[in-house]
């Protein structure tokens, strides 16, 4: 998006609203999977950071190792969350025509 297009959009609130709705739909459509433990724990998130699925390989479920399993779930979630952030930043950069993004644009998520 060039400067002239941006200025035109600012003069037209409906265009801004339409663009925001388009971006929201694109964001919600993003789906990424993060993993830990060599893929034995996998979590899938959407662009709204909603946990869509959690897969735990049966062979790692040992009541004596519950702490390790919990750590692996946290690590997989954090991996997926980082991938969502990357996807959102890439999507925003494309939508804004390569203009820089302000830090913390996505609700303080950096």
pLDDT, tens digit only, all 110 positions of the chain: 678 877 777 788 887 788 888 888 888 888 999 999 999 999 998 888 888 999 999 898 888 888 988 899 999 999 999 998 898 888 878 776 655 545 555 554 44
* pLDDT the model gives residue 99: 55
* pLDDT the model gives residue 110: 43
Q: Tell me, yes or no, whether 100 lies in a domain.
A: no
Q: Tell me, yes or no, whether 27 lies in a domain.
A: yes
Report the CATH number that the domain containing residue 91 is assigned in CATH. 3.30.1310.10
Q: Tell me, yes or no, whether 109 lies in a domain.
A: no
Q: Tell me, yes or no, whether 7 lies in a domain.
A: yes
Task: Let me know: does 51 contact 30? Beta carbons within 8 Å.
Answer: no
* pLDDT the model gives residue 16: 78
Q: Tell me, yes or no, whether 46 lies in a domain.
A: yes
Instruction: List, in order, residues 6 or more apart from 57 with CB less than 8 Å away.
Output: 37, 39, 40, 41
Q: 44: buried, middle or exposed (CB in 10 Å: 19+, 13-18, 0-12)?
A: middle
Q: Tell me, yes or no, whether 105 lies in a domain.
A: no
**Does the predicted TM-score (pTM) go above 0.75?**
no
Q: 41: buried, middle or exposed (CB in 10 Å: 19+, 13-18, 0-12)?
A: buried
Q: Tell me, yes or no, whether 79 lies in a domain.
A: yes
* pLDDT the model gives residue 34: 93
Phi-psi region of 108 (alpha: psi -120 to 50; beta: other; left: phi over 0): left
Tally of structural domains, the chain: 1
* pLDDT the model gives residue 40: 93
The residue assigned the tokens 């049966």 is 58
| Local structure of 88: helix, strand or coil | helix
Domain holding 88, by residue range, is 3-95
Q: Tell me, yes or no, whether 110 lies in a domain.
A: no
* pLDDT the model gives residue 9: 72
């Amino acid at each position: 998006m060039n400067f002239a297009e941006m200025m035109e959009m600012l003069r037209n609130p409906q265009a801004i609203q339409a663009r925001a709705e388009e971006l929201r739909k694109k964001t919600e459509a993003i789906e990424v999977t993060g993993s830990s433990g060599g893929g034995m724990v996998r979590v899938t998130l959407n662009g709204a950071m909603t946990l869509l699925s959690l897969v735990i390989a049966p062979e790692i479920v040992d009541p004596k190792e519950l702490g390790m399993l919990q750590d692996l779930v946290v690590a997989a979630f954090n991996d997926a969350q980082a991938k969502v952030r990357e996807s959102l930043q890439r999507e925003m950069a494309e939508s804004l025509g390569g203009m820089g993004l302000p830090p913390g644009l996505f609700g303080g998520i950096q």
